[in-house]
Structure 1
Amino acid sequence: ICLRLWRPKSGTADAIESGEAVVFRWGLLLIPVTAFCLGTWQVQRRQWKLKLIADLESRVGSEPVPLPSNPAELKELEYRSVKVRGYFDHSKELYIMPRSRVNPEREAREAGQLMSTPDNGANVITPFYCTDLGVTILVNRGFVPKKKLKPETRLKGQVTDEIDLVGVVRLSETRRPFVPENNIERNHWHYRDLQAMAKVTGAEPIFIDADFRSTVPGGPVGGQTRVTLRNEHMQYIVTWYGLCAATSYLWYRKFIQKIPF
C-alpha cells in the first residue's frame, strides 16, 4: 500500500520527462545558432580588417607632407609619408634585430610555401638632425644583412652630406608576448621603444621609416615599412560556419528524422 501511495502518477512523470526533452532539444539548437552568429561576426570583422589594411597602404603611398614641429600631431600621422631635410649622426646607430628584408615580390612568390628564404639581418636606426626644424629624430634607414651590421663594413653608404629624406611615421611599440626585452647595453633592440631610444641617442621620440628611394649604394636598403595586420578571420569564418553546418545536420537527424546515433 505504501509503495502504491508513493508511486508518482505516470502522467506527471511523462510530463516531466517530456518537458526535460523539450529543454534539451531546443538547448542543443543553441550550438549551431551561436556558431552561425559568430561566423557572421567574423565576416564583418574581416571586411573591417581589409578596409583598414587598404587605408594604411594608401597612407604609405600618399604624397609626403612636411614633418610637423609639434610631436603631439604625430599620433594622427602613423603610416603617413613625411619629408625632412638634415643630416645623419652615424656615431649613434641602433640596431633592431633580428629582421628580414621587406620584399613584396618575393613574399608574393613564396606565399603558401612551407619553406621560405628570408634574408636575416637588422634594421639600422640612425639619429637625423632636421635643419629645418632644429630637432633630432630617429630614422630607420633600412635593412642590412648580418655581415654588414658593423658600420665599417659599409662606409660607402654612410652619407654625411645634408640631404632631403622621405619616410613613414611610426609610433612606439609595446613588447609582445615571447619577444625578448631590448638589450640596451649590447645595442640589440627587438621592438621600437621610442622613449628608451631617444634617451640613448639624445633624439626626440620621433621615428620614421625611410622610403626605398632613400637607399644609397652600399648603405641600408630603405622601404622597410611592413603594412601587415593579423587577418585570420577567414579561418575563423570557415571554422564557425563549419561547426554550424555539422551541428545543424546532427540536430536535424536526431530530432526531426529521429534517427538514433
Structure 2
Amino acid sequence: MRFLIPLIFGLGGFAVLVSLGLWQVQRLSWKEAILADIETRIAAAPVAVPATPEPEDDRLLPVTVGAEVTGDPIRVLASAKGFGPGYRLIYPVRTDSGRALMIDFGLIPVEAPLPRMTGRAMDVTGNLHWPDEVDGFTPEPDLGADIWFARDVPAMAAALGVDPVLIIARASDPTVVEVTPVPVTTDSIPNSHLGYAIQWFGLAFVWLGMTVFLLWRIRRRTV
C-alpha cells in the first residue's frame, strides 16, 4: 500500500501529461493544414475584384486591378519585421471599371514624406482583406495629426468616400518605389502547438522522474 498510492498518482499524472502532449501534436497537424490552405489561397492566380465582395467568402482572395489614385492616403501607424515602425498608406483609387475602393500600398518610415501619388495610374496585384485589428484598446484615429492606429475598413472607407473594399498590394506596375509593400502572409497567425507539445512531454518525464525518485525514497525508508 505504501508503494501503491504514489505509483497510481505517478502513472496517472504521467498519462495525463502525455495525453495533453499528444493532443497538442494533433492540434499542430490541424493548424498546419489550415495554414497550408491559407497559403494556397493567397498565392492562387489573381482574378478581377468581385462585384460584391464578402468579408468572409472573399477574405485573402487574390485580385488584380487597373486603378488610378484619386486622393491623399490614410496613414496607419504600424510596423513590420525587418522594417521597424512606419505608416501604412491606404489610398483611395478609382478602378478602370469606375469603382472607388482602397489599396494598402505598404509602409513608409515614420519620418518619410508622403509620396506624390494622386493621379498615378497602375496595375495592382494583391489580396482582398478585412483586417481584424480593432478592439477595445485601440485608440480613436488622431484626425488632427492624420494618424490611424488600425485598419478599420468601414471607417476608412467612410473617411475616404469609397466602397469598403481594401486590397493589400503585393506588386504594382509601375512600381511605387517610395513605399515598401507588406503583402498578406500567414506569418501573423500564431502556431505554438509544437512548443506546447514539447512542454507537456517535458513535464510528463519530469513527473515520471519525480515518481521514481519518490518510490526510491519510500523503499529506502522501509529497508
TM-score (norm 2): 0.83
The AA in structure 2 aligned to 1:233 is H
CA distance in 2: counterparts of 1:259 and 1:205, whole angstroms: 73
| C-alpha spacing 1:69/1:55, structure 2 compared with 1 (3 Å) | same
Once the 2 structures are TM-superposed, how far is the Cα of residue 137 of structure 1 from its aligned partner?
1.3
Larger Rg: 1
Aligned to 1:136: 100
8 Å CA contact 1:253, 1:259 repeated in 2 = no
| Aligned 8 A contact 2:67 2:122 in 1 | yes
Write the distance in 2 (CA, Å) between the matches of 1:49 and 1:191.
Answer: 26
Distance 1:70 1:217 in 2: 28
Q: Conserved in 2, the CA contact under 8 Å of 1:212 and 1:221?
A: no
Cα-to-partner distance string for 1:119-162 (whole Å, 9 max, x where unaligned)? 43111001122232x432111011111232x32xx33xx16244
| 1:85 maps onto 2:66 in alignment | yes
Q: Out of 114, 125, 131, which is 2:90 matched to?
A: 125
Alignment-mate amino acid for residue 207 of structure 2: T
* Structure 2 CA distance for aligned equivalents of residues 190 and 81 of structure 1: 25
Aligned 8 A contact 2:6 2:215 in 1 = no
Contact 1:214/1:222 (<8 A) preserved = no
Counterpart for residue 141 of structure 2: 183
Letter in 1 for 2:36: A
TM-score norm. by structure 1 comes to: 0.72
Q: 1:170 Cα deviation (Å)?
A: 0.9
Greater helix share, 1 or 2? 1
Following TM superposition, by how much is the alpha carbon of 1:42 offset from its aligned partner in structure 2, in angstroms? 0.9
Change (3 A) 1:88 1:95: same
CA pair 118-71 structure 1, distance change in 2 beyond 3 A: closer
Give distance in 1, aligned partners of 2:46 and 2:30: 26
Distance 1:176-1:39 versus aligned 2 partners, 3 A rule:
farther
Question: Unaligned 5+ residue runs, structure 2?
Answer: none
The residue identity in structure 1 corresponding to 2:126 is: G
Q: Structure 1 residue 70 and structure 2 residue 52: aligned?
A: yes
Offset at residue 247 of structure 1 (A):
0.7
Which whole-Å CA distance do the structure 1 matches of 2:9 and 2:38 have between them?
44
State the partner residue of 1:200: 159
Distance 1:35 1:215, change over 3 A: farther
The structure 2 residue matched to 1:42, chosen from 24, 41, 44, is: 24
Describe how 1:12-23 pairs up with structure 2 within 5 A: 18=1
Counterpart in 2 of 1:97? 77
Unpaired runs of 5+ residues, structure 1, are 1-17, 103-116
Residue 211 (str. 1) matches residue 170 (str. 2): yes
**Count of aligned pairs between the two proteins:** 219
